[in-house]
Structure 1
């Protein structure tokens, strides 16, 4: 069969499947499975007779999308919350992985600006952090207690306040993305410059090691989550600026839905960061250095794996299921 005729014969069906994937047409799990099997047959035919054609690429992409749609709608015994974190979010992170890269590049750039600003302007840290905070921290450093600022207040009271504050900061990083991503970048700039100048401040007073032992106990989860939240804001902004084949409104709806799911995935890490900061960081200089390193490196391994490595594993596993179905 000539490819042109093959396309003409199945075009309406494929467009209908696109509508289902986009949520414009509702189908139950059984109907979705039938559509998937039908589409796999078309893909198998195209791979046999038009292996290097754009039609084959298109059908492969369509098959992958409807397979994920089935995963999301089929009746499974698996807990919905487990599925959300185990499969749905990793697939979205993989799909939008370049935005995570962009967010990290901006974070590194903005943090470097904070460091350089603190190096060349000795009053910069006072402006960014506030004189009272800086003076208190200097006194703590003189008393060999660089993390003294984390020891004030009750553990549970500090924890609750920290968690709510960090969620508020993360929400701003995300929601400000509606301004085409510019608001997100501004919020990321503000927080990253603060971090960079803060760390150089400790270095300047010879307390970088002690500060790092405390700050990064909770900082790994907190800062990494902040970058992921910035990623979500960039996705939101891009959905408005670059709608591609969607209408701008539909692109925004899709961008908001996808980015919000990724944003929600940061909340457990933000809560963990708050608990660590409220209960553990205050004891940072009393605990063995090895324990500090275990917590810091362990936290980095967990969150780094979840957002950098695991999405690729889930994506490959999903594609393998598709390949097995074709074969």
Structure 2
């Protein structure tokens, strides 16, 4: 069937559906569900025969609006928040592992660039971190306490300030996705260069292991979550660059919601990282076994929740679906 004939045949039905969606009055759910089924059939037909057409974009947009209208008032259980963390988010994030990998790769390449530049050029450290910070850190190293900067303020005040600042950095990583995924990638790159420079500064002073074991007490979660926020921004940015069969506006709205969901998942972790930095990292001379245990547990939480568990949950759901449809 030619596209013009297809549109002419179904135009009145689509217009009726659009009018029903725009109506503020209560709609018979059975009637709406019936229209939705017809719409998805038309959408499937258009995806097969009218790829990259305006008709397909229109039907995609209409189907998206319909889905929101149907499920917006769906009764939720009392365990909605728990279900979000236990199942909904991990299952959702399983489809974004590749974006997470790209964000991680950009960050680690930048860390390497910052570290190498610092090792071979001392002036690079001051260019990136600033004279005041470098001078203070060098003074702490000479006094035998390389991580003394974390003991310069009260625990509670430092914890609150660090948490707020880290959330701000995470939100900037996400918001940069408005400039497409290139924007979030740029912010991740800048942060990665700073981290690489910071770590290499201690290496140049021959206190690398002593310093890194303290910094990573909070840094394991803090740096990981910044990367995750960058991935959230890239998810939103990719929706602008690659709208697929959706209009660019609809694709952006969907991508922004997905990215925001990832951003929200990081807030509790930022709070934990701020707490550790404010209350734990200051005890630089704690037993090595305790320091490494905290680092390993932190790494396990990040890798387990954002990588292993989502993949496991997705595979489990796919197996259940195959069993039910067999």
- Residue 260 of structure 2 corresponds to 260
Q: Deviation string for 1:145-190 (max 9, x for gaps)?
A: 0110000111110011000000000000000011012221221111
State the shift of 1:263 in Å.
1.0
- Residue 291 of structure 1 corresponds to 290
- How many residues are aligned here? 281
State the shift of 1:143 in Å.
1.4
Does the 8 A contact of 1:99 with 1:235 survive in 2? yes
SS at match of 2:264: helix
Q: Deviation string for 1:181-216 (max 9, x for gaps)?
A: 222122111111010011000001011111112110
- Residue 84 of structure 2 corresponds to 84
Normalising by structure 1, report the TM-score: 0.78
- Residue 318 of structure 1 corresponds to 317
- Residue 137 of structure 2 corresponds to 137
State the shift of 1:82 in Å.
1.0
When the two chains are superposed, the root-mean-square deviation of aligned CA atoms in Å is 3.2
- Residue 277 of structure 1 corresponds to 277
State the shift of 1:275 in Å.
0.3
Is 1:96 equivalent to 2:86 in the alignment?
Answer: no
Is 1:246 equivalent to 2:238 in the alignment?
Answer: no
- Residue 161 of structure 2 corresponds to 161
State the shift of 1:24 in Å.
10
Is 1:235 equivalent to 2:235 in the alignment?
Answer: yes
- Paired with 1:318 and 1:309, the residues of 2 have a C-alpha distance of 14
- Paired with 2:149 and 2:136, the residues of 1 have a C-alpha distance of 8
State the shift of 1:120 in Å.
2.2
- Paired with 1:91 and 1:73, the residues of 2 have a C-alpha distance of 22
Distance 1:24 1:324, change over 3 A: farther
SS at match of 1:229: helix
Q: Where do 1:69-218 residues align within 5 Å?
A: 75=75, 77=77, 79-218=79-218
State the shift of 1:119 in Å.
1.8
- Paired with 2:92 and 2:249, the residues of 1 have a C-alpha distance of 20
Does the 8 A contact of 1:147 with 1:211 survive in 2? yes
Q: Deviation string for 1:90-143 (max 9, x for gaps)?
A: 122111111001001111111111011112221111111111111111111111
SS at match of 2:282: helix
- Paired with 1:224 and 1:319, the residues of 2 have a C-alpha distance of 28
SS at match of 1:202: helix
Normalising by structure 2, report the TM-score: 0.78
State the shift of 1:253 in Å.
0.7
Distance 1:73 1:102, change over 3 A: farther
- Paired with 1:298 and 1:322, the residues of 2 have a C-alpha distance of 33
- Residue 57 of structure 1 corresponds to none
- Paired with 1:115 and 1:155, the residues of 2 have a C-alpha distance of 30
State the shift of 1:78 in Å.
5.3
- Paired with 2:165 and 2:115, the residues of 1 have a C-alpha distance of 24
Does the 8 A contact of 1:111 with 1:193 survive in 2? yes
Runs of 5+ unmatched residues, structure 1: 1-7, 43-53, 55-68
- Paired with 2:167 and 2:231, the residues of 1 have a C-alpha distance of 15
Does the 8 A contact of 1:174 with 1:229 survive in 2? yes
Does the 8 A contact of 1:92 with 1:262 survive in 2? no
SS at match of 1:284: coil
